Chain A
Amino acid sequence: MRSLLTMLGIIIGVGAVIGSVSLTSGATKQVEDQVSSLGESVITVFSGNFTSGGMRGGWGSAPTLTLEDTKAIQGLPYVVAISPEVRDREQVLANGLNWNTQVMGESPDYPQIRNWDMASGSMFSDQDVRSLAKSAVIGKTVADELFPNENPVGETIRIRNLPFQIVGLLAAKGFNLFGQDQDDIVIVPYSSHMHRITSRTFVNSIQVQAANDKVINLVQQEITDVLLARHKSKEQDFTVRSQLELMQTVTATSRAMGFLLAGVAAVSLVVGGIGIMNIMLVSVTERTREIGIRMAVGARAADILVQFLIEAVTLSAIGGCIGIAGGVGFSTIVAYLKDMPTVTPVAWIIIAFVSSAIIGIISGFYPAWKASKLDPIDALHYE
């Protein structure tokens, strides 16, 4: 019973560390998953602001990015996939139904960039882009709205009265970080979009995939250099953003929260350590006679020191294990009740266990040292 109370400080401390780390890394993981659902190592180039008589439009409002810019970027090293993007909202008709949705002009690289699988059918091809084909790939939401209980592949939808044949259905992707339904989408070849649906000469943005996360900054810099040179403007009339930056911004908050919780938990670990030291000191006094007996039969000072250290470490390590179990249990319950993902990193379990053992050594050392310095004669006659 007393051992349990002694361990309580460590149990609560370790439990709090593991619980808070699990919850925050779960939240971080969730955000990371969402960000990586936007695509891996993806750089987005937005065209600049449209300014007219003091009125400024948002990103992508000015016609500054062209297909030539896209070709120039395509030639850069470490660029593995690229898609010029043209966006428009259109009323889409099919099957006697209609639906207002985002119609995107993209290149065949788009699913690869976005890390997006096809549920059925396939993406349109480069040939389709060259021939301004009337092919379309649609998202899950659009399919559900226009073709309830039907396989839409092979069917036809009408955009601005032009028939587009559905060649592929995208896998469901769900909502993005900003709460937008990513499946509410129709994708057509960018050339068809620019010549048949709208009549544009510029693109809204360019999606670029770099070879990996390490070269992402390099590629970003190169894109900026190339576009500045091509646009011959002193002022940067475009914006280059990477998923990495987005991810860092979004996860920074949850990380800060995690550090705060871990800090509070660390304080309770220290308090737990003091509790163990306290009880060990009492225990040394209570067992003075036992120490005397052990010394009389030949225990060296070091033997006594080690014995009490092991007891302190055992106490705190068992406390640590219970705390780890408690923390994992707590976060699992929270995950279940609140429907939040939790991830308990193995590294943190090891850290928690090792640090509780270290706390045992630190807090057990003074009492153990005191015990080892007892005089055997005094210890034997202690009442």
Chain B
Amino acid sequence: MQTNPVIKLAEIHKVYHTGEVDVHAVRGISLDIFPGEFVAIMGSSGSGKSTLMNMIGALDRPSGGNYLLDGIDVSTLDRDALADVRNEKIGFVFQGFNLLSRTTALENVEMPMLYNRHRIQSHEQQERAMHALDLVGLSQRADHPNQLSGGQQQRVAIARALVNKPSLLLADEPTGNLDSQTSIEIMGVFQKLNDQGITIVMVTHELDVARFTKRMVILRDGRIVTDEVVQNRSIAENELQRLRQEQQAVKLAS
């Protein structure tokens, strides 16, 4: 049985008119991503992965081609409609966490629900936010973000991305600001969520991180050069165990 893709990109182009030279950042990308997939989009800087990510995230519109997100043609929508699509269909996780430091973790998680087109009762907002924090293993911490560690902050950000039950979780270098152990822990969170059926697209330039996903798409100069299933997939639990053993070994040796 073939289900409809969550993301259907057809001959997507993006041209930036900055200064005298037009920059052709994305030159004809076609890509289908189906529910339950866990995809890493890789490439060096300038490969067009950030541009592609912005368009998938409905932050930007393509200059040419068609983009269907969950059956909606995003390429023709106006600003407000794009905002609604982001609110309902997409959960963002950023490299710099992007939490609001003046509000508590719980309020950060509740924030997307403020912009829902259908009003949500405040007690239901709180319930859903608590549930989302539960999913990322942070139900005990409802403090201010600046009292949390980097890994905890990123978990709050993931909870915020999940709270509106999006069709797609979009992560932009989610481990870029984290040490290797925390990175593995966060990848573990993603893997757990993916096991529960959530579709995840992650942009990264680290091969180590990409190996936790199921499918790797590599870009160069605005085109897809590789699109393959991940062989020898890393499993977060195993990786963590190995890391601990290594640390143990270092301690014993010294």
Contact = CB atoms under 8 A, between A and B. Distances in A.
A226 B94 CA distance: 94
Contacts of B92: 296-297
A377 B86 CA distance: 13
Contact of B94 (A298, A300, A380): A380
B29 interface: no
B59 A376 contact: yes
Interface residues of B, number: 24
Contact of A377 (B54, B100, B111): B54
B115 A297 contact: yes
Which of A295, A297, A301: most chain B CB closer than 10 A?
A: A297
27 contacts: A293-B99, A293-B100, A295-B59, A296-B57, A296-B59, A296-B92, A297-B86, A297-B112, A297-B115, A297-B160, A298-B85, A298-B87, A298-B88, A298-B112, A298-B115, A298-B164, A299-B83, A299-B87, A299-B114, A299-B115, A300-B83, A300-B84, A300-B115, A301-B79, A301-B80, A376-B59, A377-B59
Interface residues of A, number: 17
A296 B54 contact: no
A294 B84 contact: no
A303 interface: yes
Nearest to A290: B100
Nearest to A295: B83
A289 interface: yes
A293 B115 CA distance: 12
B60 interface: yes
B112 A300 contact: no
Contacts of A297: 86-87, 92, 111-112, 115, 160, 164
Interface of B: 54, 57, 59-60, 79-80, 83-88, 92, 94, 98-100, 111-112, 114-116, 160, 164
A300 B116 CA distance: 10
Given A289-B98, A293-B98, A299-B114, 9 more contacts: A290-B100, A294-B111, A296-B57, A297-B164, A298-B85, A298-B112, A298-B116, A298-B164, A377-B60
Contacts of A299: 83, 87, 114-115
B115 A303 contact: yes
Contacts of A301: 79-80, 83
Interface string A299-310: 111110000000
Contacts of B86: 295-298
B112 to A, nearest CB: 4
Contacts of B160: 297
A296 B170 CA distance: 11
Contact of A294 (B59, B88, B115): B115
Nearest to B116: A298
Interface of A: 289-290, 292-303, 376-377, 380
Which of A289, A296, A377: most chain B CB closer than 10 A?
A: A296
B115 A380 contact: no
Nearest to A299: B115
Contacts of B88: 298
A133 B92 CA distance: 103
Contacts of B111: 294, 297
Nearest to A307: B114
Which of B84, B114, B164: most chain A CB closer than 10 A?
A: B114
Nearest to B89: A298
A292 B100 CA distance: 11
A294 B60 CA distance: 15
Contacts of B59: 295-296, 376-377, 380
Contacts of B100: 290, 293
Which of A295, A298, A300: most chain B CB closer than 10 A?
A: A298
Nearest to B83: A300
B91 to A, nearest CB: 8
A214 B114 CA distance: 58
Q: Which 7 A-B pairs have the closest CB atoms?
A: A298-B87, A297-B112, A298-B115, A300-B83, A298-B86, A300-B80, A299-B115
Contacts of A292: 98
B23 to A, nearest CB: 14
Contacts of B85: 298
A299 B114 CA distance: 8
Nearest to A297: B112
Contacts of A294: 111, 115
Contacts of B54: 377
A350 to B, nearest CB: 32
B98 A380 contact: yes
Contacts of B114: 299, 303
Nearest to B51: A377
Contacts of B83: 295, 298-301, 303
A298 B84 contact: yes
B175 to A, nearest CB: 18
Contacts of B87: 297-299
